[in-house]
Structure formats: structure tokens, C-alpha cells
Structure 1
Amino acid sequence: MIDQPAFMHSILDSEFYESIDAYEPDSGLLDLVRRHLPRDAGWSVYRGGYWTQASHESNVRMIQGWKIHLSASRKSARELLDRTVPIFARHRVGFKFLSDENIVAISLSKNAARTAAGKFVTVYPESEESFKVIIGEVYRATTDLRGPFLLTDRPYKDSKVVFYRYGEHYGVDRVDVHGRRVAGIQDPDGNWVSDERRPAFHLPSWIKDPFEGWEPVVKPKDGVVMLKDRYRVEKALRFHATGGIYRGVDTWTGEEVIIREARPVNRADGEDEEGFDLLRKEARILTKLGPLGVTARFVDLFQEWEHLFLVQERINADSLWGYSIGFSHGSSDIRPAYVVRRLRNAVKKIAIALKTVHDNGVVLRDLNRNNVMVTRDTEEVRFIDLEFAYELDRDDPVVPGYTEGYASPEQLANEKPHPGEDVYSLGALIVDMVAFTAPGLQLNRKGILDAFEMTLADYHLPTQLRRVADGLLEPDREKRWDLDRLLREIDTVPLPEADVPVVAVGVRPPPRPAPSAALVTEIDRVLHGMSRFIKSHTTLERDDRLWPGGADIFNTNPLQLQYGAAGTAIFLGRVDGEVGAPCLDWIVDHLDTKRTPPSLFGGLSGIAVSLLELGREEAARHALDAASASPLRLERAELYSGAAGWGLANLHFHQRLGGGAYLDRALEAGQYLLDSQRFRAEGGYWELENAGIPLGFGHGQSGVATFLIYLDALAPGQGFLEAAIAAIDFEIEHRQQLDDEVLWYPHVDAPSNAPKSPHMRHGSSGVGTAVLRGWAATGEERLRRFADVCALTISNRQTNKLWFDYGLAGYGEYMLDMHYFTGDELYLNNAYYLAEAILPFRIEREDGVAFPSEDLMRISTDFSSGMAGIGLFLHRLSHHQEPRFLLLDELLARPGVEGEEEKPATKAEALAVSAA
């Protein structure tokens, strides 16, 4: 499944992210409400895609107050509205409700935001007195109904559907540095206070609960939660309005267990409850399969109070995703034969375990890289998360749903389950164990499989693995391989003869051949195909987006550089030489300086830089002036959303337009950074309040250092360069050494299981971006050598990420930086090598060429996670001297081009990177 926030915006369109507000609900609930709210009585009803609003002409717009929330399931929604809307009509109180039963079901799905889950109706009383009267009447009208528990609210008396909290009505909301709306209210002195939705009831400090005597929740003694006087809950792994998953201990045996919970949303006895039925089904399957060693072992199933609990063995295991990373990553000593042995062994174990499942009459229907576990001690396969599983000897309804990329055509059509569905998913898992790209199979089957084949070649793995994957991924179930054939074929996959490391080793990127004429021609064709695709999907008639962008565009603003129109327009401007006036007019007309933060990537600073490059100087000045008036501009240090990004935008304006005002603003940002920098033994750093010390280019020390290096070039001798080098030293000291490679956690003190990144936003190519410019500014040879170590790290193109922030486009931009500053063709050839790995992912359409976005499941044209970032790299690759977008390298020397020939570094010298 796609994670929040993308989940809500992936429901309506299988190719692009689309606002959930574009949904067209059926009219059933609306018609019911209108029967109780005659228009000639002063009522107006506005139907949106997600919420439908009802208000009376006498309603007063209040900033804040008590709110009544009514919870419902899909089955109870209509009855609940029919009973309560007459009460709202009689009191002429405004309210809103989820627009239809489909939206109710979506709000209760496990991927929906837990703080909103189950909220079917919201009522806005205009005084505490009316609040108390209305909630009492609603309570009496709904005593026999029940719904999901609302995590943010307090239940009224013993009601199962009536809840309340204090918070915003129309509110005094703000936007944060990322452009996301932050709900707000006012304290008695008129000060702004965040109205944060927490997964627990919370009151502002100055508000007293008018029903304080009705506290329904009894907190356990000493914070210990015991179930059935036997199972001690240790930690909530996931919890939601309809249930949760917890880690616990069986106090009778001392065994660690996983506890799954279902909460009733329709009836107290658990009858007609989908969640209860699913847990009982899972218990039956675990009872059957657990003793056979292919699932967790069943421990207990019991009902306590009104909730049903399933207790199962906690498996000491890694997900297949984590396990298979070790096939090709983790050591420079890994050879192709080792990869094939590990892969063959894993495939055989999964296939044998699946045969056991199928022989016992079960189809799993959700076989993905997170639901297949491999035990740490014996490397045996276990299947978990049996929500979609189907028992072939029963006639139960099929649970609709799937994980994108792993589902067969027949599962997508919700046909009667068949073991062949799991076989198809196993084919996707083989792709995942090598290339980690299976989620994209539904959108871009050809591209994913072609890229898989390229990865096989890069690793020197046998091409027969592609044939195996194709056999399992056959769309026609009648032609699809079965497990017996797979077990025969996988044993015939030969061990590779190549005895070379599967990843590059050394102190700098390996030599690559110069690009072929065919590759250069194909890059040019793809670039113009991308331009044609983007222009064909221009939507001037919309207000929420100009071109298809990342999911977050609907939660922020449509112009921003990161996910919105500004970055896409820059790509079109550089490839085509211009952007059509209607598109630029759209951007200017939709510039909302009051609702857009000053940020470089999420707001006005980045929009301003883009408009300036595209020739809309007046609008660009207006945007940057608004950014410069925002108090958020100096809220944090970082490049993407902080002072460094705002300062960099002003340097762009200074360079292009001249005058002292823009340089003065950049100096203001620089002084803020000098004043807020902290120091310890590793170097200098900036930290985020309540969020630790970030690392990397986007949010950490490297992006800030890059801005300060440019600022020093224009205003030397003020300490900016020294602060930058101290920040670079801090980043270097916090590297994670993996043989010859260097990676970074996203922040200092990250847990050991946090991802270590080679990417631009936080990782090797982003840190290298700053280190390389530190060398250009100082000539320090240690920085030049470390820049090469970063380049070596990203010279391996085996990644499932393609984009600027994360993946090959960001890698390629850094490799082109190395070529620009050193003049060495080695880096240019490596950049072409990286570009070659992007091309198989292209999606050829009649209207042009597209690429998938950061999850591989949808198409996006944006800069950070979509086509514009890819395209800007490919265009710069074809125009070697074109400046990297957003950076100001013309301010710096190019030591490798203008100075003497450099001596090659030894491995010891390259890794001797600590600050002198």
C-alpha cells in the first residue's frame, strides 16, 4: 500500500496523483440530508469530494469552540445521519459529513490518518450552552448505535458514537516552512496556539471540560496494560480507530508475542463485524499453518470487554526486503556467484513454503517484500499479515484489496482467489530481491522488467533470471508457471563465472567507456518526449495544479519548486528555450504570498528563482519580497526550508539584477547562521528544535555550508567560509563507512536500523555537493579526496530511485559537478553511465515520454521526485557547461581546470578526512 499522504491522493487515478476532493460522491447521503434541510428555510449545502458542508444563514463564523464528532462505519452512516440531522436542523447548527459511504470506508482503512479515522460528522455549536444541549440530544437519539473509537476525542458518557473535543471551527490557521497547513486557535490573550490533532484527548490549558465527571477511561496502574490477566502489552506498533497491533509478553511462558486487536464498529457482540471476521480467519489459518512452520504460531484468540484479540508468536526475523539487501550490498567482497546462491536459495524456500500453504487450502493474496519474513537463526521463510488471505474450503466473501505491483490481473479484478495469484506475486518478489522495484510493475511493467534486466547485467548475473521472472509474471494465468516448474527451473540457473565485486571499489569512480552515439541520441529523444508529455498534460483550467505533481502538492501549494509548477517550468524552459505565456501567466496568477512559506523548495524563494530565470522579473521580485517579509525565513538554518535557502535565492537575484538590497538580505541570512551555529569536537552544526541535528544537503549541514561558501565569495572575510568548512567537517565526521563507500543517516543519533543514504537530500551526493565546493573555495586537498569517495559511492547505479532528491538524477548532477570542477572526463562518462540506468524506466506514450515518481506507482512531473528533476539532469548531461539549477558555481574557482594537474590519491589519503 502507498503511505500517507500519498494514499488519499492515489485512490482516484491509476496514473497520476489526484486530490481526493476531485472525487464525485454518489448522492445518497446528500439526498437524505436535504430532506431534513429545506433550502427555503435558510439552509445551504455544499458537496465536496470528501466533506459535504451544511450551514444555516444564521450561523456565526467562530474561530474556535467545542466540536461534536459522530463516528460511523459504512453500515451505520445512513442511519446515524437520519437520526441526527433533524436535531441539527432544529438547532440551526452548522455541520459537515463524509460525502458518501465509500469515503466512510476509506476513512477507516489502515492507511488513512489515524487522527481522522472514523470521524463521520462534525458539528459546530456556537456556545458552550448549545454544545451541552445538542450533544445531549444526539446522545439520546443514538444510544443503540455504535461506531469506531475516535482517538483524538473524549466519548460523551457511555456513547459509542458521540465524541467531543475543543478546537478550531474556522480557526486561525497558518502554513509551516514546508507549506503545510497548521490548524490554530487563540488563547485568552489573543496569542496563536497550534490545534494539533493528537492520537489522544487533549484540552488547551485554559479550557475546562464541562463534563469532567464523566471520565470513561480508567488508566492502568503503573502504566501496565494486561489482557486476559496474561498478556502484558509492551508497545503499540500500530493503532487505529478499528484496532491495533501491539508487541507484548505472555507472562505465563515469558514468550514475546504479537497482539492484534479488532474493535467493534457496528455491534457489541462482534457479529457482522468485518474486523472480527478477519481476526477469526487469521486465527484459523495460523492454527492450520503455524505448526507447519510457514507462519507465526497461533497462541490465543479471546474477547475482552468488547474487543477481539489474536495473540501469535513474535517471529525473530527480517523482512524479505531487509534480508535480500544483503545479497548484493554490505561488503565490497560480494561476488556474482554469491548473489545467485543466495537468490536461488531464497526463491526455493519461498516456493516450498507457498506449496505448503496452497496444499492446505489457503491463498495468501498479499505476498510482498514486507509480508515475507526470513528467520534470523535458521533463514526459514514465514508469511505474516494474512488480512487478504482466502480459505479455499470456505465460501466467505473475498476481501478486496492488494499491494500495488504484486497483484495479478485476476486479483486486480477481484476474481475468486486461486493459488496462481501467489505465484504471480513470487515473480514480483524475484524482481524485488535483485532490483527492489516491484511496486512499479502495475504502472510500468515493461520499464520495470527492462531495468531488472539491466541490473542483472550490471551484477554479472545470468539472464535466465529474467526468464524465470517473466514466467511467473505471465498475465494469463493459464500460461503462468506453477511452483513445480519454478523449482525445476531455478536449479538450472547457472553460477556466474565473473569473479569481480558487484559494486565498485577504490578511491574514486571506476573508468567507464565514453557514451555511444546511440545513447546520446536516445537521451535527446527522451528529453523532447518528456517535454511533449508534460505539455500535453497542462491543465490551465485547474486551480490546484498546473501539471501532475507529487502527492504533497495537494497538501501545500501548486507552485512550489519541490512538487509544483515552478520546477516543471524550469525543465521546460531549459529544454524548449521557453515556457508558453499561458503557463507562466497561470503561475503568476496563482501566486498567493499570504499562504505560501518563504522556503526555497516549498515556497516563495524557489518560486522567485524560477520566475526570474523564466523572464517574469516583476512577479519574481514580488515573490522574493514576500519571502523576505516572512518571519519563517529565519526559523531554521537548512537549505530546503530555512535561512540558507532564502539567502541563496537572494544571491541569485543579486547576481542577475545587481544592487545592494539582495546581497544585504543574503548577509542577513548569513549572520543568522553564524549566530546560531553551535560547535563540538566534530565541527560546527545547526540543530532543529525538538528534532535533533539533521545531516545532508536538504535539511542538514551540507546545504547550509554550500550557501555560506557562495556568500563568502561575494563577502569574504566575515567568517562565512570558516563556518561552512566547520559544517562540512561535522558531516564528514558523521559518515557511515561501508568498506570503500560513505553513507549518511538522516540525522545524528539515528537508530542503527535507520536507512543510510547515498542520495542528494540527505546522503553522499548531497554531502559531496558541499565538500566539492569547499575544495573549490579553499583548495584543501583532503576535501578533494573526500569528494572522490562520495563520487565512488554513487557511481554504483543499482538503485530503485531515479529522482533528484533520491536517486540517479541526484547522483548524476553530482557527477557532473565533479566533471565541471575537475575537467576530468572520467566523471562525465560516469554521469552517462548513470543516465543509461534511468532510461529503461521510461514510459512510452502516444503523447510523449514519462517517468514514474518516487514510489514507482504514479507519474509525476515535479522537480524533487519526478520528471523535471530527471530531465534537468539529462539536459545538463547533454549541455556539459550548463549550470546546475539553483547553484551559483560561477562564483567559485575550478581548481582542476584552471590549476595544475592533480596527483591521484591513495586509499589511505582518500579516507584521511578528519579536519586538521
Structure 2
Amino acid sequence: MPGIQETQLYCLADRRYYDTPARLPDQETRYPLDAAEPPPGWRRVAGGLWTSLLPEDGEPAEQGWKIHVSTVPEEAARTLRDTARICLRHRVPFKFLRSEQALLLMSGKYMSRGSAGKFLTLYPPDGAALTRVLDELTRALSGRRGPYILSDLRIGDAPVYVRYGAFVDRWCRDARGERVPALRHPSGELVPDERGVVFRVPSWVRVPEQLRPHLAARAAARDDSFPYTVTEALQFSNAGGIYLARHRETGNRVVLREARPHCGLDAVGDDAVTRLEREHRALKALAGLDCVPRVYGVRTVWEHRFLMTEYVEGPTLLDEIVARFALVRGARTPAELAPYTAWVDRVTGQLAAALAEVHGRGLRFGDLHPSNIILRPDGRLALVDFEYATALDDDRTPLAGAPGLQAPPGTPGAEADAYALWATWLTMLMPLTEMAAHDRAKALALESWARGRYGLAPDAGPPRPALLRAAESAADRESEIAALLEGPAPDWAELRTRLLAGIHAGATPERRDRLFPGDPKSFATGGTDLAHGAAGVLYALHRTGAPVPAEWTNWLADAARRRDPASPGGLYDGLPGTAVALALLGRTDEGRELFARAVAAAHPSPSADLLTGRAGVALAALRLATVGPGAPDPELVDTALRTAWDLDCLVRGEAVPDGPAAPPSAGLLRGLSGAALLHLELHALTGEDWLLRAARTALYRDSGHCVEMPDGTVQVKDGRRHLLYLDQGSGGFALVARAYLAREEAPALAGLLPGVRKGCGNEFVREPGLFTGRAGLVSTARQLEEGPAGPEVLASVRNLSWHLVADGDRLLVPGARLRRCSADLATGAAGLLLALSFLAGAEAGEGSDTAAAPGGGGHRPHDLLSLLTLG
């Protein structure tokens, strides 16, 4: 799942869908250089929020010492003009953020700390150019202001920085198998270009002599007079960090809140230091309140500002919700739910009292959400993070808050806090309040469901905020969605029609970067892949019998040809899966050609899994071998068999030259269950006994990650997390185990399935998608049960109403993190369409028995494992 910084970046351009930041509507704040005619001998290239100017007579070097320039909004135009003049004179390629709006957004609190502050990037072609440009830049920009770039070495007193890194896009896989930017090692191998928050130099690179004095100055700038020693980092953002520390003399524990100058800009342009000073004033005004930490003062250390406050021991309210939440802890009856609702009432009452005390001092809190509430061990609570605590009548300082818990802009202080209190109460009962950001009527629907489910009295909870009255008029939309899912059976046909309408409405065949809106990850794969791109959506349409316009298939084929075959990815994130989708759509020759080109050009994946690794590439080969009439293609089958042998060696601990690494977790897509599936499919095709033994060994290896929970469910343990999902978790493992059990007995595997089935019927699921959400879990629960659907399956289908968003006669599906809607297979509407098709078919008696071997020609039309893996 994308991190919060990446998610935030892809929320900038569109309020409905995740979209590339390049489409940010910022024409009114573009810098003149963005639109000016390039000087003779130069060309302009646009990419994302950046505009590049490049000499026409050559391309940038592949890598080297790059220069970054930072700035503040009020100095940006002048800094850009002066820097561009130097670059043009020395013919040094450079890029810059194209607009003031882009600069403000990229300097925001939740943007990546590694790239924060970068306004211009310069690419000197050699050491001589580096020296000349640095000399002129530091003189021209001396005394200018800008954020400190954490990943770089600062040069002098100007906002000028350097680091060694890639000049052009190159990609490789890191130790976790993730696709990351790359540098070329002297050996020729591509290795990760580490872009962290500490200045680092690759081991084979020598620091130029002209940079060494600045390295020494950096080391000498350390301030040892600060009386606190940091013991733990609690949180980081672009604005700074929050640390637990001890006083060196007294040993007292404190919290240090760090503010970086010119960083973490908010909606009105205030930086982290401005907000920290505001918090200091608020804490002094609120001194003596039990719900507010004591403040010990502020201090500048090096260039950063620190606020020292009391350390309030205890978990955040968010942590406590996760630990206690009754609907995922097996509570079903009113008596079982009563302790949790009593706790919610107690916390809500304390919160209301705390806000009343803050208001009594003439201030609003302005940023109430579960992460800003600490629950002390003795039951008392404290509010933390007073950056937006200002006068109750302040109409300039923006409101903060988490998505869905934030009152509309312009809401008066006391009323804004009242809304946040109500939304926090609702979050404790139904932690899905992000849905209110899509439609505030969702908040009312969730409240209604929660009142009924928890058996709450009409007057339970805080008063409903007046600003929700407008949403009450939209309640019909929610009732209409619920009606599609209620009754003895959902209205499968109408759900399908509306999901298809939503998919069609979001299609953008005129764009080259995507055909359908999906997860932000789709932009890294050219919008073609199965998990998040067009291949997955078109496959879902085809598999569920919906028409696939020829224009869309042409788009997919053209976009796949544009993708670099040397970075092909795997079954779900790359060209192999796209090739299979094209073949299934009737473009068999194009699919096989695409697959062959990708396999020939790329280095084998270091991963063994089905999602991005070798098991997935081999399964793609097998699918392509058996598409269409006639005997399977022997060359493609042999490709799959060779990989299957290597994977079996890996599982059994035998070394294979240049072999893949074992996945660290378990599941269909991210574990060894994908390898087991490959073995089963090849066994069905060839009858070779070793393949069945290999499947058994891989499944037993994955079963070692499964644990029985106190509520009787069986889940995959992954560090502190316990997972049931299809991509990583016990649900996907169970589907492959069930297919194996149709061939041979394995009591240890069979004994795990009832617990997985129970877990997949969980009442509460955070997201609706196929790979890591309700669509996948409820489908798995249905596949693992015999006979008609049980009440838990039907209830889970009905609870899809929590997430579905009505848009006229269309239904939209929120994707990962619920921030924007998605049409893709992994997280969005295409995956839900596929799941509902399976469920409808199961109820019609088309797929309740999956004893037929996967891939062996005996699949029933709605076998879930077949649907998930393009069988």
C-alpha cells in the first residue's frame, strides 16, 4: 500500500480519483519560465510538477553530483530567474517546480521528507561544471531563504545543496523486491539510489575536493549544549519530528516537538516554526488544565526550533481503538458489545469536558482526531498537538484534522470542535470516517448503522452537529445503495450495471498515462498492469461477460508496447500479466510477442512470489501456453516448468544460481502459495508427481506463518500484524490449500481452513477492494463454505454499502486508504465487479464446488482461484 506521502501527492489534482500531480490545475500560478520560449539551442520537457530545460545537443549524464536549490514562495521567482541565468550560461541542464502552487504543495507537511525543499535540480555534466556553477550560485543566492534539504550537503550560506545520484530514470528492485530508482555501480549492475533523509555517498564514489570543506562545516555545526538526549523518535513529517527525550541532569522525560524553518507549509503558507510558536502560546494560555501537557519552553538548536513539553504516558486513542475494537474481536451479542460501548461513552464524555475547558480559556483546539488524544494509564486523557489552537473567533488560521473528521473551511471554532468531537465518537464506533470526505451523507449512514448494531439509545453520543443538516437531505442516496444489497439476495444485476457505468464514466482513452483511474501505483507501470492498470479492468470486464470496446483493447496494446521491456515486472505489476490479458481479449499473438520481448530483455526478478516475482511470470507463461484451441505451446510450458523446479529447490533449501529469495510472509500473491498454485497447475497439465509434492511443501511452508487467534480465526502473522487478505494473508493461502486438498489428503492443511473461513467472514473490514478488502474476503469465505451462502457472507455483502459512493446512476469504489476512488482490479470497481460476479454465480449454483483442478480444463465458471489468476 502506498505511504501517506505518496497518497497525499496523488490527491492534489482531483477530488474524486487518484491522479498524477502533473494534472494539478495551477495555470494561474505558473512561473513565466514554464511557458516562455526556450532559448536557442534549448528544449523544454514537462514531467509531473516539474519543467526541464535541456541543451538540444545532448542528454544529461546518467548520474553524478547533482545540485539542488531550495526557496520560499516569496523569493521563488527571483531565485528561479537567477539560477536559470547561470545554468543557461554554462549549458547545465536543470528542472524546476513549474508553479507557486506546486511549490506550496511540495513543501507541505505530509510530503516526502527526502524530496522536500527541492525547487530546482541542476545536472552538471562533469566536475569542472560542478565547481563553476556552485561558485556562481552560492554568490548569487547568498542570504536567500529556503528549507534545509535533509538528503544533501549544504554549500555555504546559500540555499544550495549537493548529493550524488541518478540524473536519468533508471529502476531496479530493492531487497524487499520493490521497484526503486537506481544508480549504476562500476560493475554495471543497477543498485538502489538511496534517497533518505541523511546525506550519504555511495561507497564507490569519491567526494570532490571542493566539497570537503562543506562536509567539515557540517560536522562542526553540531550543537552539544542541548540539555536533552533523544531516546526515541515518535513521529516524522516534512515539518520536523516528535521525539521522546531525557534531561541529561535530572533524567526527566519530555517530548521534543521539532519545527524546521520554511518547511511543512499549510493552506495559508504558515511553516512549521510559525505553528510551533502558536502551539507554545496556546499551551501557556491553557496552563493548569489537566487535559493539556505542561510546557517547559522553546529553544533553537542549530537551525531547528524545539518545543519542550510534558511527556504524557499512554497510547493514542487511535492505538486504543485498534487494540479494543469490538467488531474485529469476535463480539456479536449486545452483552459482548456492552464493555466497548461503555468505554466509548466514557472517552467521549472526557473529550467533551476537555474541549469545554479549552473553550473556556477562549481558544479552539482545531485539530481533534484520534491520533491527537492520549489516554493516560489512570484513565484520564490529554490533548496534544496545539498547532491550530487559536482564538475561538479566528477566521484566518485554517482548520486541521484527519480526512472526514475535519469541519468545512470557515466553520467557527467551537462548532468546528463540536463536529470533530462527533466524528471522533463515530470513529470509535465505525473507523471509516474517511468516507465522509466523499459524501457527508456517508457519515449519517454510518451513524445509523452503528446505533443499530451497538444498540445505542437515541440520545447516546454527542449532539449531531448542525452543519450535517445539509447532508440529511442526501440520505436518499444512501438508502438507494442499501436497497441494492438488502433482502434475501442482493440485486446482482443492478449492482453490476451501476459498477459498469462507474467504470465507463471514469475511462480516459484520450490520455496516454492511464485508461482508468486506479491506485497511484498505476502511474509507475504506464497504466497497463493487472493490479492497478487497464489490463486488470479489461480482464474483469471480459471475465464477467461485459463488452470490452475495441478502443480500450487498442489502448492497452499500444501502451504496453511503449513500456520499457527491460523493466517488465511480474504477473500483476508488469508486462507478463498484461500479455495474458491481451491474449484472453483475443490478441493472442500480440500477447505472446509482448511476453517474449519482456522475458528476453529483463533480468529475472529477485522475488519468488506471484505478485511481482518468478512464480507469476511462470504462471503467465503457462496461461499463454494454453490460450486458445490446440495443444499447449511446449516452449512456454517448459519455461514454466524450469521456474517451478527452481522454486521447489528454494522451498527445500537447495541453492540455485541466481535464484529468487523466499517471500518473508505468506499468501496467494506475496507468499509461497503462489508457487504452490503454479505447481498444481503444471501437475494438472503434465501429471508429473514431483509437482504435487512441490505444491505440498510450499503450502506447508506458508502454513508456518498461520496462527490461531483468540477468536478462533486463522490468520497470517506478519510482525505485529495479522492478515486474512488474498494478496498477503491466510485467505489466499486457503484457496490454494483447498485446491490441493481436492487431490490429496493433508489433515494439517485441512485443519486450518475452518478458522480461515471464520476470519474471512469478519463483520468489519476497512477497505472494499479485492486484494486487501471486503470483496476478496467475502468471496473467499463463500468459496470455503459448502452449500448455500451463510448469514455471515450475506451480511458482509450488505456491508459493502459502507463504502459504495453513489454518483448519479453510477457506483464508485474508494481505493487504498479510502482517500480517492479507484476502478482497478486490486483496490477498486473492477475487483468488486469480479467478486460480485463470483458471488452471484455461486448463488446460482455455478461455483460452489471447486474440486476440478486449477488450470486443468475442468474449471467451473466461477471458481474464485481461477478468476483471481486469469485461469
User: TM-score if structure 1 supplies the norm length?
Assistant: 0.83
Q: 1:669 aligns with which of 643, 660, 663?
A: 643
Relative distance call for 1:47 and 1:648 in structure 2 (3 A) is: closer
State how 1:342-741 maps to structure 2 within 5 Å: 342-375=343-376, 377-392=377-392, 397-399=396-398, 401-409=400-408, 411=409, 415=410, 417-457=412-452, 459-462=453-456, 464=458, 468=461, 471-472=464-465, 474-475=467-468, 518=487, 520=489, 522-592=491-561, 593-595=563-565, 596-629=567-600, 631-657=602-628, 658-678=632-652, 693-741=664-712
In 1: Cα distance, 2:643 partner to 2:697 partner: 17
Identify which range, 54-63 or 127-136, moves more after superposition. 54-63
In 2: Cα distance, 1:461 partner to 1:12 partner: 41
Q: Deviations over 1:524-555 (max 9, x none)?
A: 21111110121122211001111111122123
In 1: Cα distance, 2:663 partner to 2:500 partner: 41
Contact residue 608 and residue 619 of structure 1 kept, 8 A = yes
- Matched residue, 2:247: 250
> Is the aligned partner of 1:100 residue 2:99?
yes
Q: 1:234 aligns with which of 231, 242, 248?
A: 231
In 2: Cα distance, 1:894 partner to 1:42 partner: 62
Relative distance call for 1:755 and 1:518 in structure 2 (3 A) is: same
In 2: Cα distance, 1:470 partner to 1:354 partner: 14
Q: Deviations over 1:631-661 (max 9, x none)?
A: 4544211111112212222332344342322
Q: Per-residue deviation at 1:13?
A: 1.1
Contact residue 831 and residue 877 of structure 1 kept, 8 A = no
- Matched residue, 1:486: none
- Matched residue, 1:899: none
In 2: Cα distance, 1:576 partner to 1:771 partner: 28
Q: Per-residue deviation at 1:893?
A: 9.2
Q: 1:876 aligns with which of 827, 831, 838?
A: 838
Relative distance call for 1:875 and 1:552 in structure 2 (3 A) is: same
State how 1:108-507 maps to structure 2 within 5 Å: 108-156=107-155, 158-170=156-168, 172-173=170-171, 182-188=180-186, 190-210=188-208, 211-216=210-215, 228-239=225-236, 242-265=239-262, 274-289=271-286, 291-325=288-322, 326-328=324-326, 329-330=328-329, 335-375=336-376, 377-392=377-392, 397-399=396-398, 401-409=400-408, 411=409, 415=410, 417-457=412-452, 459-462=453-456, 464=458, 468=461, 471-472=464-465, 474-475=467-468
Contact residue 71 and residue 147 of structure 1 kept, 8 A = yes
Contact residue 321 and residue 432 of structure 1 kept, 8 A = no
Q: Secondary structure at the match of 2:298?
A: strand
Contact residue 644 and residue 670 of structure 1 kept, 8 A = yes
Relative distance call for 1:471 and 1:679 in structure 2 (3 A) is: same
Gaps of 5+ in 1: 267-271, 481-514, 681-685, 896-916
Q: Per-residue deviation at 1:737?
A: 2.7
- Matched residue, 2:787: 824
Q: Per-residue deviation at 1:427?
A: 1.8
- Matched residue, 2:478: none
Contact residue 648 and residue 698 of structure 2 kept, 8 A = no
- Matched residue, 1:793: 759
Relative distance call for 1:890 and 1:594 in structure 2 (3 A) is: closer
For 1:889, the aligned partner's letter is P
State how 1:798-813 maps to structure 2 within 5 Å: 798-813=764-779
Aligned residues: 828
Q: Per-residue deviation at 1:191?
A: 4.1
Q: Secondary structure at the match of 1:164?
A: strand
- Matched residue, 1:503: none
Contact residue 18 and residue 519 of structure 2 kept, 8 A = yes
Q: Per-residue deviation at 1:68?
A: 1.3
Q: Deviations over 1:459-516 (max 9, x none)?
A: 4523637x85781374359999xxxxxxxxxxxxxxxxxxxxxxxxxxxxxxxxxx99
Relative distance call for 1:521 and 1:806 in structure 2 (3 A) is: closer
In 1: Cα distance, 2:743 partner to 2:387 partner: 57
Q: Per-residue deviation at 1:582?
A: 0.9
Q: Per-residue deviation at 1:873?
A: 0.8
For 1:789, the aligned partner's letter is G
Q: 1:850 aligns with which of 801, 812, 819?
A: 812
Calculate percent identity across the aligned residue pairs.
Answer: 26
Q: Per-residue deviation at 1:247?
A: 2.4
Q: Per-residue deviation at 1:365?
A: 2.0
Q: What root-mean-square deviation, in Å, do the aligned CA atoms of Structure 1 and Structure 2 show?
A: 3.5
Identify which range, 228-237 or 175-184, moves more after superposition. 175-184
Q: Secondary structure at the match of 1:292?
A: coil
Q: Deviations over 1:417-455 (max 9, x none)?
A: 411111111222222112210111110333454345445
Q: Secondary structure at the match of 2:721?
A: coil
> Is the aligned partner of 1:762 residue 2:762?
no
- Matched residue, 2:863: none
In 2: Cα distance, 1:197 partner to 1:95 partner: 19
Identify which range, 622-631 or 665-674, moves more after superposition. 622-631
Q: Per-residue deviation at 1:176?
A: 7.8
Relative distance call for 1:16 and 1:623 in structure 2 (3 A) is: same
- Matched residue, 1:484: none
For 1:773, the aligned partner's letter is A
For 2:773, the aligned partner's letter is G
In 1: Cα distance, 2:18 partner to 2:807 partner: 18
User: TM-score if structure 2 supplies the norm length?
Assistant: 0.87
Relative distance call for 1:890 and 1:477 in structure 2 (3 A) is: closer
In 1: Cα distance, 2:660 partner to 2:255 partner: 35
Contact residue 651 and residue 697 of structure 2 kept, 8 A = no
Gaps of 5+ in 2: 264-268, 474-483, 861-871
In 2: Cα distance, 1:379 partner to 1:731 partner: 41
- Per chain length, whose mean CA-contact separation is higher, i.e. which structure has more relative contact order (CA < 8 Å, sep 6+)? 1
Relative distance call for 1:551 and 1:170 in structure 2 (3 A) is: closer
Q: Per-residue deviation at 1:135?
A: 0.6
Contact residue 185 and residue 193 of structure 1 kept, 8 A = yes
Q: Per-residue deviation at 1:298?
A: 1.5
Contact residue 64 and residue 171 of structure 1 kept, 8 A = no
Q: Secondary structure at the match of 2:359?
A: helix
